[in-house]
């Protein structure tokens, strides 16, 4: 059953432009309503990601969210100086499901599947950003999660085994300028490339602990690092210039590894009065593990009959990242208005994992300030959660970019393409439902 469910969620899951670096520091609808401050107070389906020690009572949890990325890049320098381009990707639903069984008053187990909260990226093929990214809105990332928790009075521990299912699809423009005719950013010499990688099996794990001390609860969790990778396809559409009419490409297999970081979370929740609780949380992510992404040919990939060159064997494609570790801060409040009706609010701040030198439209990861709201209400045995957020990213003007064109046949004559002004932000909304069907299964 879980295999079929995971397959369905992979189909439904949109791009996760792969917190700190690739996705928003929020996971689940209820967490969205409290700004991601849900380490000490996680329960049900939220506990899989935030703190498996808090699986708790038997429940079925479903959720779906939408993340819309507003992004505009205005180029500085080059033949498209002052030209702007905006994100054209259509937001798609981000699903999650979790089933928790409380086998005993001290033991709970669970199985879940969920996708990260991330925006989709799609820009014009002829836009000023095309050498950094054309699109990655067909990329999908899904976690399938088995977890267990044990309770010893007020102390709980838990652990989870996760399989990361990844499907990466990224389209980027290279330059085919050989130096014989045209210029580095000549549209007729553009080479459209597409990387396609499917990695259905990557194991990782997370661990959690929680302690209730009267009205105050403490929580901590650890997410182990992992890498998405394997053998993929690297397709090439040769330039439209008639000089390339006789050119061809042999070979298309490449090896790719994309490392993801260790993550450590901590939170303190205070039940101030029976009707009001607040939680503060912090999250560390070791993104410095990703210095670069290399695309290595498996077989010889050869461009044949290139004008003025002849045959050329494609070497490794190196995408500079030089990411840095991040600390995000989260604060949330949960207040009961009346029996069966709660309102929530929260905020979070997360700094960018990129310096100006490697910042680009490929990963629109600026300093983030998120303001979130939510409400939950009971419909019989079902709790319904609704949440929305506006996530603002500071406008970023880059004048020292090291992002240049990829040109396999003439790498010494490439242009810097990352300088300019980046404006971006997110609108996020979601709805979830949790059916608690009693302790003891």
Does residue 4 have a pLDDT over 50?
no
pLDDT at residue 89 in the model: 93
In contact, 28 and 432? CB cutoff 8 Å: yes
Rounded to an integer, the average pLDDT of 233-259 is 92
pLDDT at residue 308 in the model: 77
Rounded to an integer, the average pLDDT of 116-139 is 94
Q: How confident is the model at residue 170 (pLDDT cuts 50, 70, 90)?
A: very high
pLDDT at residue 20 in the model: 44
Backbone phi, then psi, for 7, in 5-degree steps?
-60, -40
Rounded to an integer, the average pLDDT of 238-257 is 92
Neighbours of 62 (CB within 10 A): 17
| Strand ranges in 92-202 using DSSP code E only, listed in sequence order | 93-104, 107-114, 140-152, 155-175, 190-199
Q: How far apart are CA 251 and CA 235, in angstroms?
A: 9
Does residue 327 have a pLDDT over 90?
yes
pLDDT at residue 178 in the model: 87
pLDDT at residue 375 in the model: 98
Q: How far apart are CA 158 and CA 27, in angstroms?
A: 18
Neighbours of 332 (CB within 10 A): 28
pLDDT at residue 7 in the model: 44
pLDDT at residue 306 in the model: 84
pLDDT at residue 303 in the model: 85
Residues 6+ apart with CB under 8 A from 338: none
Q: Give the rounded distance of the alpha carbon of 344 from its chain centre.
A: 24
Rounded to an integer, the average pLDDT of 391-405 is 95
Count of H-run helices and E-run strands, the chain: 3, 23
Q: How far apart are CA 281 and CA 344, in angstroms?
A: 16
In contact, 283 and 38? CB cutoff 8 Å: no
**Mean per-residue pLDDT of the chain:** 91
Q: How far apart are CA 64 and CA 98, in angstroms?
A: 12
Rounded to an integer, the average pLDDT of 221-233 is 96
- The pTM score is 0.90
User: Tokens 């989870």, residue?
Assistant: 160
Q: How far apart are CA 373 and CA 122, in angstroms?
A: 28
In contact, 300 and 234? CB cutoff 8 Å: no
Side-chain-facing half-sphere of 285: CA atoms under 13 Å? 23
Q: How confident is the model at residue 438 (pLDDT cuts 50, 70, 90)?
A: low
Neighbours of 157 (CB within 10 A): 16
Q: CA dihedral in degrees (378, 383, 384, 385; nearest 10)? A: 110
Does residue 110 have a pLDDT over 90?
yes
In contact, 440 and 104? CB cutoff 8 Å: yes
- Which of 10-19, 159-168, 239-248 shows the lowest mean pLDDT across its residues? 10-19
> Structural domains in the chain?
2-429 (2.40.160.60)
Q: How far apart are CA 56 and CA 46, in angstroms?
A: 11
pLDDT at residue 409 in the model: 82
Rounded to an integer, the average pLDDT of 293-321 is 86
Considering only CA atoms, give the Rg of the chain: 24
Does residue 312 have a pLDDT over 80?
yes
In contact, 164 and 226? CB cutoff 8 Å: yes
User: Tokens 């002829």, residue?
Assistant: 126
Predicted confidence (pLDDT) per residue in 13-63, tens digit: 444 444 445 788 999 999 999 999 999 999 999 999 999 999 999 999 999
Q: How confident is the model at residue 439 (pLDDT cuts 50, 70, 90)?
A: very low
pLDDT at residue 119 in the model: 87
Does residue 117 have a pLDDT over 90?
yes
Backbone phi, then psi, for 9, in 5-degree steps?
-65, -35
In contact, 165 and 113? CB cutoff 8 Å: no
User: Tokens 């009205």, residue?
Assistant: 215
Does residue 9 have a pLDDT over 50?
no
pLDDT at residue 319 in the model: 85
Rounded to an integer, the average pLDDT of 65-79 is 95
Does residue 190 have a pLDDT over 70?
yes
List the beta bridge partners of residue 363.
360
């Amino acid at each position: 059953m879980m295999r079929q469910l995971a397959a369905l969620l992979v189909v439904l899951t949109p791009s996760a432009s792969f917190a700190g670096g690739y996705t928003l520091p929020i996971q689940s609808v209820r967490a969205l309503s409290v700004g991601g401050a849900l380490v000490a107070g996680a329960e049900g389906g939220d506990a899989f990601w935030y703190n498996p020690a808090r699986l708790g009572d038997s429940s079925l949890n479903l959720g779906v969210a939408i993340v819309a990325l507003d992004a505009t890049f205005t180029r500085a320098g080059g033949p498209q100086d002052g030209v702007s381009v905006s994100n054209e990707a259509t937001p798609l639903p981000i699903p999650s499901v979790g089933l928790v069984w409380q086998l005993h008053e001290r033991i709970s187990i669970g199985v879940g599947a969920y996708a990260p909260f991330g925006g989709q990226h799609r820009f014009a093929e002829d836009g000023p950003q095309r050498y950094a990214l054309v699109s990655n809105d067909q990329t999908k990332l899904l976690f399938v999660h088995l977890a267990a928790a044990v309770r010893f009075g007020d102390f709980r521990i838990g652990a989870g085994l996760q399989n990361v299912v990844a499907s990466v699809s990224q389209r980027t423009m290279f330059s085919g300028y050989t130096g014989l005719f045209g210029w580095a950013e000549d549209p007729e010499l553009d080479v459209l490339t597409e990387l396609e990688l499917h990695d259905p099996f990557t194991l990782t794990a997370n661990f959690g602990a929680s302690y209730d001390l009267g009205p105050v609860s403490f929580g901590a969790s650890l997410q182990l690092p992992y890498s998405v990778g394997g053998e993929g396809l690297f397709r090439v559409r040769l330039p439209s210039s008639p000089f390339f009419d006789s050119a061809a490409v042999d070979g298309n297999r490449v090896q790719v590894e994309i490392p993801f970081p260790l993550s450590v979370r901590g939170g303190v929740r205070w039940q101030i009065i029976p009707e009001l609780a607040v939680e503060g949380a912090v999250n560390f992510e070791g993104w410095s593990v990703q210095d670069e992404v290399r695309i290595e040919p498996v077989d010889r990939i050869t461009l044949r009959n290139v004008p003025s060159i002849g045959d050329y064997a494609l070497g490794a494609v190196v995408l500079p990242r030089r990411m840095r570790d991040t600390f995000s801060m989260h604060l949330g409040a949960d207040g009961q208005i009346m029996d069966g009706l709660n309102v929530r609010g929260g905020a979070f701040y997360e700094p960018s994992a990129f310096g100006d030198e490697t910042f680009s439209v490929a990963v629109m990861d600026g300093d983030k300030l998120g303001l979130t709201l939510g409400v939950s209400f009971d419909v019989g045995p079902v709790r319904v959660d609704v949440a929305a957020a506006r996530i603002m990213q500071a406008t970023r003007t880059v004048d020292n970019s090291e992002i240049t064109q990829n040109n396999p046949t003439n790498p010494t004559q490439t242009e810097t393409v990352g300088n300019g002004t980046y404006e971006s932000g997110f609108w996020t909304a979601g709805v979830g439902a949790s059916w608690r069907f009693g302790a003891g299964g």
